[in-house]
Amino acid sequence: MSVPLIPREALFGNPDRANPQISPDGTRLAWLAPDEGVLNVWVAPVGDPSAAIAVTKDRLRGIRSFAWAFDGVHLLYVQDMGGDEDWHVYAVAADGTGERDLTPIEGVQARIIARSRKHPGSLLVGLNDRIPQLHDVWRVDLATGERTLVHENPGLLQFLADDDFNLVLSVTATEDGGMMMLAMQDGQWTPIANVPQEDSLTTAPIAIDATGRSFFLIDSRERNTAGAFTWNLDSGERTLLADDPRADVDDLLVHPTERRLQAVASTFDRTRWQILDDDLAPDLAALDALGGEVQVISRDDADRLWTVALVQDDGPVRYVLWDRSTQQATHLFTNRTALEGLTLAPMHPVVLRSRDGLDLVSYLTLPPGSDSDGDGRPDAPLPMVLVVHGGPWARDEWGYNPVHQWLANRGYAVLSVNFRGSTGFGKAFVNAGDKQWAGTMHDDLLDAVAWASAEGVAQPDKVGILGGSYGGYATLVGLTFTPQTFACGVDIVGPSSIITLIESVPEYWKPLLSQFTTRVGDISTEEGREFLWARSPLSKVDAIEKPLLIGQGANDPRVKQAESDQIVAALREHDIPVTYVLFPDEGHGFARPENNIAFWAIAEQFLAEHLGGRAEPVGDAIDNSTAQVS
């Protein structure tokens, strides 16, 4: 079966509407939608979404996330300039008036630390204006923008506050790559728990409860997978509430006003909810029956109305308004109406086995019509693209994935693998990736390619590799360390030298450098630098034999433009062809839809040339962007 080409605009353009959130009083809905082609926040009465108005007026990058303030009057959002991640916090009234930059300091990064129903007209914000590496805590008035210093940061990475805006808990890094949790006692930060390096990516405090004397945390100490716990600061008692032997707890559902933990989610191959409060059981069961994986986005203060996302793999995300009093769901909208009714491809969870016996949870998407018996294997081997996630301390999940759908629609099998070092599968799995960049982490990707060839999924000579950030690094590793495995590669904001990557991290990442030392390598010793250079694609650039496409944002604060510049220069010095696409107004990834679509248009032609899939004509995609192609 040959299906029509899905336009890139439908997959990678702005969503029609997304992320609906109910106001605290339950009378209004807010969501993201384009206004003059740029994502902004819209507000409508809960009973009349058609009466929505745009309350923000962003005309550049679009707003990606927002939240209601607890006064029910203001909405909060963050925005940077050109992808530099120097976030500013903004507030705007729900009628679109009084928009204000609450943190109008250039070259400074702001973070929202806490909102409170007891103090609905203000919030706590972190600012690194005094010392670039550290965020001091300020209280900011939403109506006037007036700031008051609450706490001068003595060297801490994270703060948790109670509903009275008292700082209760903090976290700092330790020299061995671990963490220390501290509690405020008698006006001083007092250590309460050491988190060893082996648990530092799978243990974290999440929120303070209503009493202000207990907190919720996920914790992997003395176990493998992280469970959900409560910790009483007065008694020191730590109580396990829920866990999953196969996966870490990764989502917590907390009552909006009573601050009780009511349900937790974990994801091995698919997300599973465990209910701790029987009061929610009918709601989650009814929502589950609607189809798709349930994500509760927001709840009003009365806990009567919820906004919920129903995620599916072969269609757009559906959003509903859930009324607990009537047990009825009202359809709001999908995020991409252009995809409704189209033939999209299901995503198949598969668990592969690495050469040394680890389970690799992976996701396979096949072109529509290529799997006539529906067994998750194509009728004949296909050209394949291995899509590698970033992080690397992140993971791939089941659900609607625009890159998977785009590639499958163009005729490729698409495989994403959670290689060792990925999070979500317990500390033993994530720690197995320590100091294994371009080592066993890459072996896992090779094992996934070998599996796909053995299973008749992939044509062995037509496998491409694509990824962003760490996935971009993995692409470069694939073409330099194993040049015969992949037919081509697409690197998006990937580091080419681990040494220069670590040397150029943003100032506010420097307190975390001990984690890089223990998990990636030590740039402070000659032996460590030799090890990191040997694991850097730049050191083996002359081994590249296959075509390479690189995309980079000029303002990227994490993986600087120099990472792409230096490998492009080295390739050209060796007369090795490379296509380089630079966006002067982007950062770590491409936020503006015009730029995103332009890059995928270039990538589509690149993959079609070297793997043989279908391609939508480029048209005016590049002309509409800021892409500089060389």
Q: One of 585, 588, 610, 625 is an active-site residue; which one?
A: 588
Which residue range forms the structural domain that includes residue 359? 348-629
Q: How much is the average pLDDT of 75-81?
A: 96
The answer to whether residue 556 is catalytic is: yes
556 in a domain, yes or no? yes
92 in a domain, yes or no? no
Written as six digits, the tokens of 164 are 């009275």
Burial grade of 487 (CB within 10 A; 0-12, 13-18, 19 or more): buried
What local confidence, expressed as pLDDT, does residue 334 receive? 97
Q: How much is the average pLDDT of 346-355?
A: 98
Q: One of 422, 469, 514, 539 is an active-site residue; which one?
A: 469
Q: How much is the average pLDDT of 570-597?
A: 96
Q: List Cα–Cα distances, 409 to 311, 363, 388, 597, in angstroms.
A: 20, 16, 19, 16
Give the confidence band of 142 by pLDDT, cuts at 50, 70, 90: very high
Q: One of 86, 303, 556, 585 is an active-site residue; which one?
A: 556
What local confidence, expressed as pLDDT, does residue 589 receive? 96
Residues 6 or more apart from 48 whose CB is under 8 A from it? none
Percentage of residues in the chain having pLDDT higher than 90: 99
90 in a domain, yes or no? no
Number of residues that this document lists for the chain: 630
Q: How much is the average pLDDT of 273-285?
A: 97
Handedness of CA 364, 369, 375, 378 (dihedral sign): negative
601 backbone dihedrals φ, ψ, rounded to 5°? -65, -45
593 in a domain, yes or no? yes
Q: What is the pLDDT of residues 444-471, one digit of tens each?
A: 999 999 999 999 999 999 999 999 999 9
Q: Give the SS3 label for residue 596.
A: helix
Domain count of the fold of the chain: 1
Written as six digits, the tokens of 535 are 């694991």
Put residue 279 in one of left, alpha, beta given phi > 0 → left and psi -120 to 50 → alpha. Answer: alpha
225 in a domain, yes or no? no
Q: How much is the average pLDDT of 268-290?
A: 97
Q: Quote helix, strand, coil % in the chain, to nearest 5.
A: 20, 35, 45
To which H or E segment does residue 11 belong?
helix 8-12
Q: How much is the average pLDDT of 30-58?
A: 97
* Amino acid in the structure at residue 226: A
At 579, which CATH number?
A: 3.40.50.1820
pLDDT greater than 70 at residue 567: yes
203 in a domain, yes or no? no
* Structural contact between residues 92 and 98, judged by C-beta atoms closer than 8 angstroms: yes
The answer to whether residue 325 is catalytic is: no
Q: Nearest CA to 494 among 549, 552, 541?
A: 552
99 in a domain, yes or no? no
The pTM assigned to this predicted structure is 0.97
To which H or E segment does residue 470 belong?
helix 470-481
Q: What is the pLDDT of residues 394-409, one digit of tens each?
A: 999 999 999 999 999 9
What local confidence, expressed as pLDDT, does residue 325 receive? 97
What local confidence, expressed as pLDDT, does residue 351 receive? 98
600 in a domain, yes or no? yes
Q: List Cα–Cα distances, 162 to 112, 206, 208, 215, 240, in angstroms.
A: 14, 12, 6, 10, 22
pLDDT greater than 90 at residue 274: yes
Output the average pLDDT for the chain.
97
Give the confidence band of 2 by pLDDT, cuts at 50, 70, 90: confident
The answer to whether residue 151 is catalytic is: no
pLDDT greater than 90 at residue 168: yes
pLDDT greater than 80 at residue 613: yes
What local confidence, expressed as pLDDT, does residue 1 receive? 58
Q: What is the pLDDT of residues 505-562, one digit of tens each?
A: 999 999 999 999 999 999 999 999 999 999 999 999 999 999 999 999 999 999 999 9
